[in-house]
Amino acid sequence: KIGTQLRSVLDRLHQKHEIIGEVRSHGLMLAIELVTDRKSKTPAAAATADIFEKTREHGLVMSKSGADKNILRMVPPMCIRENDVAQVEHALERVFSGY
């Protein structure tokens, strides 16, 4: 249930921010692929590094992955609650607002 809610958050972000090329999820494992161009899917490695640092500043624990280090992974703890999803969404909105 929480994984579905978090996926909905990422889907909304994907619609609003061109830098997000694709979102993927399986349960509570979520990934955000960052690109400079959605058509060519050119990896946005530098922006990913910057966004990664900003997520930490906003209290989110994420990791970078992928061959080009342009994928942000989020694997929240199993104890995450529904009211935590709104905090995650708010933090991600602030982080992606500059992109």
Distance of CA 14 to the CA centre of its chain: 9
- CB atoms near residue 76 (< 10 Å): 18
What are 11-60's pLDDT values in tens digits?
A: 999 999 999 999 999 999 999 999 999 999 999 999 999 999 999 999 99
For residue range 57-95, what is the model confidence (pLDDT) as tens digits? Answer: 999 999 999 999 999 999 999 999 999 999 999 999 999
What is the Cα gyration radius of the chain?
12
- Tell me how far apart the alpha carbons of residues 96 and 94 are, in angstroms, rounded to a whole number: 6
Question: Structure pTM?
Answer: 0.93
Count of CB atoms situated within 10 Å of the CB of 86: 11
